[in-house]
Structure 1
Amino acid sequence: MAVFKGAGVAIATPFNGDGSVNYDEFARLIDFQIDNGTDAIIVCGTTGESATMTEEEHKEVVRYCIDHVNKRVPVIAGAGSNCTQTAVELSEDAAKHGADAVLSVTPYYNKATQDGLIEHFTAVAKAIDIPVILYNVPSRTGVNIQPETAVRMCKDVDNIVGIKDATGNLAQTAKMMQLAEGCIDLYSGEDGLVVPIMSLGGIGVISVLSNVAPRQTHDMCMKALEGDFAGACEIQLKALPLVDALFSEVNPIPVKAALEMIGFAAGPLRLPLTTITEANRKVLEAELNKFLGR
């Protein structure tokens, strides 16, 4: 059975002015997501600024999220690293504290071969007894999980169950799903391609958009799952200008600004990320208000 179907939010991590985690606001954001239909919480991913967290801080944020969600929806813990042993340790800690699955990004900077990717992800999977969702985002990591590699891992390793596809390459996605013969739970990693990816057999999205539009993102996925692709497409196309604005600068710069606009104290970004430019802020606010009907 899939870890979740529908809209999973790649949740942002609110920070205080001094850069520490704002757990009170994090709780508010989690509750807002669940109250508005989000089907899963993905914590300490790219949007959560895991890249600038210490390992202990990363573990604490994951544990807090698991405890606060309290089984209301599945919690998938970001647990990737360019060091296999670190990825194993983060995954083990998440599993120990009750995560429903881990999201494991391709090792970045190292540029592993396809054989290296297989060994890396297999080591992570064998260290835990909860599902592993692969995260393929070549634009950030510099390495691409080839369709044959993804299918081989999902067929050969029992708890490697799915993939977050942020390649933007629909031809590659189609080839992977053709080879998979149903063995891969596919999630869109691109908010602008949710419906196209679901038309190829995807079962949902791990979404940045859902931070500020959880109900709409959930509804889009549910319509697609129910076969109402015309209704899902209507939401997808309406959302595209906002999606473009949310990626006008590197994620999560715009989404943290957008969260402030809807009333959350998302707080500062950690360097080297910086505040959104005023020009992009104005466009973002206009598109956010338009999409939310404010």
Structure 2
Amino acid sequence: MNFTGVGVALVTPFIKNKVNYDVLKELLDFHMQNGTDYVVLLGSTAEAATMSLKEKKALIEFAVSYVNKRIPLVVGTGTNDTKASISFSKLTQKLGADGLLVVTPYYNKPSQKGLVAHFKKIAQSVSIPVILYNVPSRTGINMEAKTVFELSKVSNIIGIKEASGNLNQVAEIIKLCGPNFVVLSGNDDQTLDVLKMGGHGTISVTANIIPAILSSLVRLYKVGNNVDKEFLELNDLNQILFIETNPVPVKAALNHMGFNCGKPRLPLLPIEKKNDKMLVEVLKKYQLVNHG
């Protein structure tokens, strides 16, 4: 299973605080029709932290059945409890996911040795590919390059979504782990930088709204084209989607584009009016909406 190129960190559409499966179907179709390489369910952008195990299980079952192998599905199964992460990872494999995205344990602040032990236990409990996820701004812990190298020796730990924002660290991971270890940008504004260093793609928030453009740019880069200008032109869009905490702006953007994704769940609130106004202006600039 190939997890290079563009993976979308998919939002979870809600209606009256329940998962809106009709809209989820529309979103999955949108990505299958627009060149997205794989879909990531139940990540940060999906508001997985506010979803019950019952909801998560139902969402995975629905997506696996609906997609029916037409696009690979990666599922976020990491928690700050190794035992719970193992249990959910095993369940997710059983339900038919193609791969797992496992975030560093948040709040506990384990040592680097603790991270190695945690990820090894999880990976060894399943047989499908595992992608590590380093996002210190959300978890309070950074996974160092040498730790990633140690984990890259585990046969089914195939890559990392690197969202530390530290390009020196990304370069060190690529250098240590070699070309077969999949390094993915976890920050939309650094996708091109990571590709230029020898990375393999991105797990993207922006891909929620421009999957065809992003997939095309990554493919063009990989066959030797200079796409600096095209990536630069996406700066305003990448910035506006993080004007508030993700996924607040991207959900608002999808709503404006006609996908009824609903409101984020508490403790997140809907986008502030002044920010929404700016968001609509940027969406108009990229011809993603014509109203506002």
Residue 129 of structure 1 aligns to a residue whose secondary structure is coil
Match for residue 25 of structure 1 among 9, 20, 23: 23
Tell me, in whole angstroms, the C-alpha distance in 2 between the residues paired with 1:3 and 1:144: 26
Equivalent runs, 1:5-84 vs 2, <5 Å: 5-16=4-15, 18-84=16-82
Match for residue 187 of structure 2 among 171, 187, 190: 190
1:206 has 2:225 as partner:
no
Shift of 1:98: 1.3
Equivalent runs, 1:89-238 vs 2, <5 Å: 89-155=87-153, 157-228=154-225, 230-231=226-227, 233-238=228-233
Deviation per CA, 1:27-66: give whole Å up to 9, x if none.
0111011111111000010111100001121122122112
Shift of 1:199: 0.8
CA contact (8 A) 2:209 2:254 kept: yes
Residue 234 of structure 2 aligns to a residue whose secondary structure is helix
CA contact (8 A) 1:213 1:292 kept: no
Residue 224 of structure 2 aligns to a residue whose secondary structure is coil
The structure-2 alpha-carbon separation of the partners of 1:292 and 1:39, relative to structure 1 and needing over 3 Å to count, comes to farther
Deviation per CA, 1:156-191: give whole Å up to 9, x if none.
x11011000101110111111111122420111011
CA contact (8 A) 2:4 2:182 kept: no
Match of 1:253 in 2: 248
Shift of 1:207: 0.6
Following TM superposition, where does structure 1 have runs of at least 4 consecutive aligned residues deviating by more than 4 angstroms? Answer: none
Match of 2:85 in 1: 87
Match of 1:265 in 2: 260
Structure 2, unaligned runs of 5 or more:
none
Tell me, in whole angstroms, the C-alpha distance in 2 between the residues paired with 1:289 and 1:64: 33
Tell me, in whole angstroms, the C-alpha distance in 2 between the residues paired with 1:289 and 1:213: 13
Shift of 1:234: 2.2
Residue 142 of structure 2 aligns to a residue whose secondary structure is coil
Match of 1:242 in 2: 237
Residue 19 of structure 2 aligns to a residue whose secondary structure is coil
Shift of 1:227: 2.0
Deviation per CA, 1:236-292: give whole Å up to 9, x if none.
111110110000000000000000111000011110000101111111111122123
Give the superposed CA RMSD: 1.1
Residue identity opposite 2:284 in structure 1: N
Tell me, in whole angstroms, the C-alpha distance in 2 between the residues paired with 1:81 and 1:74: 22
Percent identical pairs in the alignment equals 42
Count the aligned residue pairs: 289
CA contact (8 A) 2:39 2:74 kept: yes
Tell me, in whole angstroms, the C-alpha distance in 1 between the residues paired with 2:14 and 2:230: 31
Tell me, in whole angstroms, the C-alpha distance in 1 between the residues paired with 2:20 and 2:47: 13
CA contact (8 A) 1:238 1:291 kept: no
Structure 1, unaligned runs of 5 or more:
none
Tell me, in whole angstroms, the C-alpha distance in 2 between the residues paired with 1:227 and 1:97: 39
- Normalising by structure 2, report the TM-score: 0.96
Deviation per CA, 1:119-158: give whole Å up to 9, x if none.
1101110110001000000000001110000011112x11
Residue 292 of structure 1 aligns to a residue whose secondary structure is coil
CA contact (8 A) 2:3 2:182 kept: no
